Amino acid sequence: ENAKHCLDITLEDFNLLGKPAEMIWYLGDSVERWDLSHLEAMTKMQVDGFGSLDIPLCYVTGNHDYDYMRYRKEELQLKAPIMPFYDAVRAKEGWHTTKTPQDLYFKVKLGDYPVYFFSDHIDNENRWLVTHSHIVYGEEFYPYTQKDADAIRQEIINENHGVITASHYCMPGGNRDSYLMSKLTPLPENVLIHFYGHSHIGDFEWGGKDAYRRIAWVDFEDIPQIDVASMENIRGSFCRSALLQIYDDDTMAVFFRNHDAHCFTEVYFPAKDKQTLTIPHEERQRIIRDHIHYV
Protein backbone atom coordinates (compact mmCIF):
# COMPACT_ATOMS: atom_id res chain seq x y z
CA GLU A 1 0.00 0.00 0.00
CA ASN A 2 2.83 2.39 0.85
CA ALA A 3 4.67 1.63 -2.37
CA LYS A 4 1.56 2.08 -4.51
CA HIS A 5 0.81 5.38 -2.77
CA CYS A 6 4.30 6.72 -3.50
CA LEU A 7 4.39 5.40 -7.06
CA ASP A 8 1.01 7.00 -7.83
CA ILE A 9 2.20 10.35 -6.44
CA THR A 10 5.36 10.25 -8.52
CA LEU A 11 3.79 9.11 -11.78
CA GLU A 12 1.00 11.68 -11.49
CA ASP A 13 3.54 14.48 -11.06
CA PHE A 14 5.82 13.13 -13.78
CA ASN A 15 2.91 13.06 -16.21
CA LEU A 16 1.98 16.63 -15.23
CA LEU A 17 5.49 17.64 -16.34
CA GLY A 18 4.83 16.04 -19.72
CA LYS A 19 7.11 13.03 -19.10
CA PRO A 20 10.24 15.18 -19.62
CA ALA A 21 12.89 12.47 -19.91
CA GLU A 22 14.66 10.42 -22.55
CA MET A 23 15.60 7.79 -19.98
CA ILE A 24 14.76 6.76 -16.41
CA TRP A 25 17.56 5.68 -14.06
CA TYR A 26 16.21 3.46 -11.30
CA LEU A 27 18.89 3.31 -8.60
CA GLY A 28 17.85 0.25 -6.65
CA ASP A 29 15.51 -1.04 -3.93
CA SER A 30 12.58 -1.88 -6.17
CA VAL A 31 11.15 -4.31 -3.62
CA GLU A 32 11.80 -5.32 -0.02
CA ARG A 33 11.34 -8.14 2.49
CA TRP A 34 10.77 -11.82 1.77
CA ASP A 35 7.14 -12.62 1.00
CA LEU A 36 7.33 -13.83 -2.59
CA SER A 37 3.71 -13.00 -3.44
CA HIS A 38 4.35 -9.47 -2.16
CA LEU A 39 7.51 -9.16 -4.29
CA GLU A 40 5.64 -10.33 -7.37
CA ALA A 41 2.81 -7.86 -6.74
CA MET A 42 5.35 -5.04 -6.27
CA THR A 43 6.99 -6.07 -9.53
CA LYS A 44 3.78 -6.07 -11.57
CA MET A 45 2.71 -2.73 -10.09
CA GLN A 46 5.98 -1.06 -11.11
CA VAL A 47 6.33 -2.70 -14.51
CA ASP A 48 2.81 -1.51 -15.32
CA GLY A 49 3.45 1.95 -13.85
CA PHE A 50 6.82 2.70 -15.39
CA GLY A 51 5.88 0.85 -18.56
CA SER A 52 2.97 3.26 -19.06
CA LEU A 53 5.50 6.06 -19.57
CA ASP A 54 7.03 4.37 -22.63
CA ILE A 55 10.51 5.60 -21.66
CA PRO A 56 13.64 3.39 -21.56
CA LEU A 57 14.53 2.41 -17.99
CA CYS A 58 17.98 1.56 -16.59
CA TYR A 59 17.95 -0.37 -13.33
CA VAL A 60 20.66 -1.22 -10.81
CA THR A 61 19.83 -3.41 -7.85
CA GLY A 62 20.10 -2.23 -4.25
CA ASN A 63 20.32 -3.99 -0.91
CA HIS A 64 16.57 -4.56 -0.47
CA ASP A 65 16.36 -6.29 -3.84
CA TYR A 66 18.21 -9.17 -2.15
CA ASP A 67 16.12 -9.45 1.03
CA TYR A 68 14.58 -12.72 -0.14
CA MET A 69 18.00 -14.36 -0.62
CA ARG A 70 19.51 -12.91 2.55
CA TYR A 71 16.74 -13.93 4.90
CA ARG A 72 15.46 -17.15 3.33
CA LYS A 73 18.74 -18.57 1.99
CA GLU A 74 19.25 -21.19 4.70
CA GLU A 75 15.57 -22.02 5.18
CA LEU A 76 14.93 -22.66 1.49
CA GLN A 77 18.44 -23.78 0.50
CA LEU A 78 18.21 -21.41 -2.45
CA LYS A 79 20.50 -22.43 -5.31
CA ALA A 80 19.73 -19.51 -7.61
CA PRO A 81 18.72 -15.88 -7.08
CA ILE A 82 14.99 -15.15 -6.91
CA MET A 83 14.55 -11.54 -8.05
CA PRO A 84 11.18 -10.86 -9.71
CA PHE A 85 11.71 -7.19 -10.59
CA TYR A 86 15.23 -7.78 -11.91
CA ASP A 87 13.92 -10.62 -14.11
CA ALA A 88 11.08 -8.42 -15.34
CA VAL A 89 13.50 -5.64 -16.32
CA ARG A 90 15.71 -8.09 -18.21
CA ALA A 91 12.69 -9.39 -20.08
CA LYS A 92 11.22 -6.03 -21.07
CA GLU A 93 12.29 -4.61 -24.42
CA GLY A 94 14.00 -1.23 -24.12
CA TRP A 95 14.82 -1.63 -20.41
CA HIS A 96 18.36 -2.22 -19.23
CA THR A 97 20.17 -3.92 -16.36
CA THR A 98 23.10 -6.30 -15.96
CA LYS A 99 23.12 -9.36 -18.25
CA THR A 100 23.37 -11.75 -15.30
CA PRO A 101 22.84 -11.27 -11.55
CA GLN A 102 26.56 -11.63 -10.87
CA ASP A 103 27.73 -8.88 -13.25
CA LEU A 104 29.33 -5.80 -11.70
CA TYR A 105 27.99 -3.18 -14.10
CA PHE A 106 26.41 -2.35 -17.42
CA LYS A 107 26.78 0.60 -19.77
CA VAL A 108 24.21 2.62 -21.73
CA LYS A 109 24.70 5.62 -24.02
CA LEU A 110 22.79 8.85 -23.34
CA GLY A 111 23.50 10.80 -26.51
CA ASP A 112 27.30 10.96 -26.65
CA TYR A 113 27.66 10.23 -22.92
CA PRO A 114 28.50 6.70 -21.77
CA VAL A 115 26.70 6.04 -18.49
CA TYR A 116 28.20 3.31 -16.27
CA PHE A 117 25.72 1.69 -13.89
CA PHE A 118 27.30 -0.23 -10.99
CA SER A 119 25.01 -2.82 -9.45
CA ASP A 120 24.84 -4.93 -6.35
CA HIS A 121 25.41 -8.50 -7.46
CA ILE A 122 24.94 -12.11 -6.47
CA ASP A 123 26.42 -15.41 -7.58
CA ASN A 124 24.31 -17.21 -10.18
CA GLU A 125 24.32 -20.20 -7.80
CA ASN A 126 23.79 -18.05 -4.68
CA ARG A 127 27.19 -18.84 -3.11
CA TRP A 128 28.01 -15.16 -2.46
CA LEU A 129 26.18 -11.85 -2.24
CA VAL A 130 27.22 -8.19 -2.37
CA THR A 131 24.98 -5.47 -0.90
CA HIS A 132 25.66 -2.27 1.06
CA SER A 133 28.88 -2.09 -1.02
CA HIS A 134 30.22 -5.06 1.01
CA ILE A 135 30.41 -8.82 0.61
CA VAL A 136 27.53 -10.06 2.79
CA TYR A 137 28.26 -13.78 2.58
CA GLY A 138 30.48 -16.18 0.63
CA GLU A 139 33.64 -14.05 0.61
CA GLU A 140 35.71 -17.17 -0.06
CA PHE A 141 33.84 -17.65 -3.36
CA TYR A 142 33.75 -14.01 -4.47
CA PRO A 143 35.50 -13.86 -7.87
CA TYR A 144 36.27 -10.15 -8.31
CA THR A 145 39.49 -8.43 -7.26
CA GLN A 146 41.13 -5.03 -7.56
CA LYS A 147 42.26 -6.07 -11.05
CA ASP A 148 38.63 -6.13 -12.18
CA ALA A 149 38.05 -2.64 -10.78
CA ASP A 150 41.22 -1.42 -12.52
CA ALA A 151 40.01 -2.92 -15.80
CA ILE A 152 36.73 -0.99 -15.49
CA ARG A 153 38.69 2.18 -14.76
CA GLN A 154 40.75 1.60 -17.89
CA GLU A 155 37.60 1.06 -19.94
CA ILE A 156 36.29 4.41 -18.69
CA ILE A 157 39.62 6.10 -19.50
CA ASN A 158 39.38 4.74 -23.04
CA GLU A 159 36.00 6.37 -23.63
CA ASN A 160 36.28 9.22 -26.10
CA HIS A 161 33.89 11.40 -24.10
CA GLY A 162 32.92 12.54 -20.63
CA VAL A 163 31.40 9.74 -18.55
CA ILE A 164 28.53 9.69 -16.04
CA THR A 165 28.34 7.02 -13.32
CA ALA A 166 25.42 5.78 -11.23
CA SER A 167 24.85 3.20 -8.52
CA HIS A 168 22.71 2.44 -5.49
CA TYR A 169 25.73 3.61 -3.47
CA CYS A 170 27.92 6.68 -3.28
CA MET A 171 31.58 6.94 -4.06
CA PRO A 172 33.86 7.75 -1.08
CA GLY A 173 32.85 11.13 0.34
CA GLY A 174 29.11 10.61 -0.13
CA ASN A 175 26.43 9.42 2.26
CA ARG A 176 26.64 5.96 3.86
CA ASP A 177 28.23 2.83 2.33
CA SER A 178 31.04 3.10 -0.21
CA TYR A 179 33.64 0.39 0.56
CA LEU A 180 33.53 -1.59 -2.70
CA MET A 181 32.81 1.54 -4.75
CA SER A 182 36.13 2.91 -3.44
CA LYS A 183 37.88 0.22 -5.48
CA LEU A 184 37.13 2.34 -8.57
CA THR A 185 38.92 5.37 -7.17
CA PRO A 186 40.71 7.51 -8.01
CA LEU A 187 38.15 7.97 -10.76
CA PRO A 188 39.42 8.76 -14.26
CA GLU A 189 39.61 12.40 -15.31
CA ASN A 190 36.72 12.01 -17.75
CA VAL A 191 34.18 11.05 -15.04
CA LEU A 192 31.95 14.11 -14.69
CA ILE A 193 29.32 13.28 -12.06
CA HIS A 194 27.97 10.38 -9.99
CA PHE A 195 24.35 9.67 -9.00
CA TYR A 196 23.30 7.35 -6.19
CA GLY A 197 20.40 6.36 -3.93
CA HIS A 198 20.34 4.36 -0.67
CA SER A 199 20.65 7.25 1.81
CA HIS A 200 17.12 8.65 2.15
CA ILE A 201 17.09 12.41 2.41
CA GLY A 202 15.46 13.40 5.69
CA ASP A 203 16.01 9.99 7.32
CA PHE A 204 17.91 10.61 10.56
CA GLU A 205 17.92 6.95 11.60
CA TRP A 206 20.22 5.95 8.74
CA GLY A 207 21.44 9.28 7.40
CA GLY A 208 22.56 10.74 10.70
CA LYS A 209 24.43 14.01 10.28
CA ASP A 210 24.13 13.68 6.48
CA ALA A 211 20.36 13.28 6.53
CA TYR A 212 19.86 16.38 4.36
CA ARG A 213 23.10 16.34 2.32
CA ARG A 214 22.10 16.06 -1.31
CA ILE A 215 25.37 17.09 -2.97
CA ALA A 216 28.87 15.96 -2.00
CA TRP A 217 32.19 15.44 -3.74
CA VAL A 218 34.18 12.29 -4.30
CA ASP A 219 36.98 12.26 -1.75
CA PHE A 220 40.17 13.92 -3.08
CA GLU A 221 38.52 14.62 -6.46
CA ASP A 222 36.57 17.45 -8.03
CA ILE A 223 33.66 15.20 -9.01
CA PRO A 224 30.20 15.96 -7.59
CA GLN A 225 27.91 13.16 -6.50
CA ILE A 226 24.16 13.51 -6.12
CA ASP A 227 22.03 11.68 -3.56
CA VAL A 228 18.72 11.12 -5.33
CA ALA A 229 17.04 8.97 -2.64
CA SER A 230 14.30 8.40 -2.40
CA MET A 231 11.02 8.03 -4.24
CA GLU A 232 9.05 7.61 -1.03
CA ASN A 233 7.73 9.89 1.70
CA ILE A 234 7.81 7.44 4.62
CA ARG A 235 11.42 7.25 5.74
CA GLY A 236 12.39 10.12 3.45
CA SER A 237 10.94 13.61 3.55
CA PHE A 238 8.92 13.35 0.31
CA CYS A 239 8.74 11.44 -2.96
CA ARG A 240 11.74 12.84 -4.77
CA SER A 241 13.78 12.38 -7.90
CA ALA A 242 16.38 14.35 -9.79
CA LEU A 243 16.21 15.36 -13.43
CA LEU A 244 19.51 15.68 -15.27
CA GLN A 245 19.54 18.18 -18.13
CA ILE A 246 22.48 18.24 -20.57
CA TYR A 247 22.64 21.33 -22.76
CA ASP A 248 24.02 21.76 -26.26
CA ASP A 249 27.30 23.17 -24.94
CA ASP A 250 27.74 20.10 -22.65
CA THR A 251 26.97 22.02 -19.46
CA MET A 252 24.66 20.21 -17.06
CA ALA A 253 21.94 20.97 -14.55
CA VAL A 254 20.45 18.74 -11.87
CA PHE A 255 16.87 19.66 -10.93
CA PHE A 256 15.60 18.25 -7.60
CA ARG A 257 11.89 17.46 -7.73
CA ASN A 258 9.35 17.22 -4.89
CA HIS A 259 6.62 15.08 -6.41
CA ASP A 260 4.27 15.48 -3.43
CA ALA A 261 4.16 19.26 -3.83
CA HIS A 262 4.54 19.27 -7.65
CA CYS A 263 7.53 21.60 -7.52
CA PHE A 264 11.27 21.79 -8.03
CA THR A 265 13.04 22.50 -4.76
CA GLU A 266 16.44 23.54 -6.15
CA VAL A 267 18.80 23.23 -9.08
CA TYR A 268 22.52 22.55 -9.20
CA PHE A 269 24.78 23.49 -12.12
CA PRO A 270 28.00 21.45 -12.01
CA ALA A 271 31.12 23.25 -13.17
CA LYS A 272 31.90 22.35 -16.76
CA ASP A 273 35.64 22.41 -16.10
CA LYS A 274 37.10 20.76 -13.02
CA GLN A 275 38.89 22.97 -10.52
CA THR A 276 41.78 20.57 -10.08
CA LEU A 277 45.32 21.49 -9.18
CA THR A 278 47.66 21.92 -12.11
CA ILE A 279 49.84 18.92 -11.31
CA PRO A 280 50.44 15.95 -13.62
CA HIS A 281 47.61 13.44 -13.67
CA GLU A 282 49.87 10.56 -12.65
CA GLU A 283 51.12 12.48 -9.62
CA ARG A 284 47.59 13.40 -8.60
CA GLN A 285 46.56 9.75 -8.81
CA ARG A 286 49.53 8.73 -6.65
CA ILE A 287 48.56 11.27 -3.98
CA ILE A 288 44.96 10.05 -3.98
CA ARG A 289 45.90 6.38 -3.81
CA ASP A 290 48.27 7.05 -0.92
CA HIS A 291 45.29 8.30 1.10
CA ILE A 292 42.79 5.57 0.19
CA HIS A 293 42.72 2.26 2.03
CA TYR A 294 42.63 -0.82 -0.19
CA VAL A 295 42.48 -4.44 0.95
- The residues, any chain, with a CB within 8 Å of residue 170's CB and separated by 6 or more, are 176, 177, 178, 181, 194, 196, 198, 199, 216, 225, 227
| CA-based max dimension of the chain | 57
Give the tens place of pLDDT for each residue, 127-137. 999 999 999 99
pTM here?
A: 0.94
Residue 76 reports pLDDT greater than 90: no
Give the tens place of pLDDT for each residue, 111-122. 999 999 999 999
Q: Is 43 helix (H, G, I), strand (E, B) or coil?
A: helix
Average pLDDT over residues 12-25: 93
Would you state the pLDDT for residue 278?
A: 64
CB atoms < 10 A from the CB of 278, how many? 5
Would you state the pLDDT for residue 289?
A: 72
Q: What is the C-alpha to C-alpha distance for residues 2 and 200, in angstroms, rounded to an integer?
A: 16
Residue 89 reports pLDDT greater than 50: yes
Confidence tier at 277 by pLDDT (50, 70, 90): low
Report the phi/psi class of residue 18: left, alpha or beta, with left for phi > 0 and alpha for psi in -120 to 50. Answer: left
Would you state the pLDDT for residue 295?
A: 39
| CA dihedral angle for residue 251, residue 186, residue 121, residue 192, rounded to 10 degrees | 0
Q: Report DSSP letters for 134-197, one per residue.
A: EEEE-GGG----HHHHHHHHHHHHT-SS-EEEEESSPPTTSSS--TGGGGGPSPPTTEEEEEE-
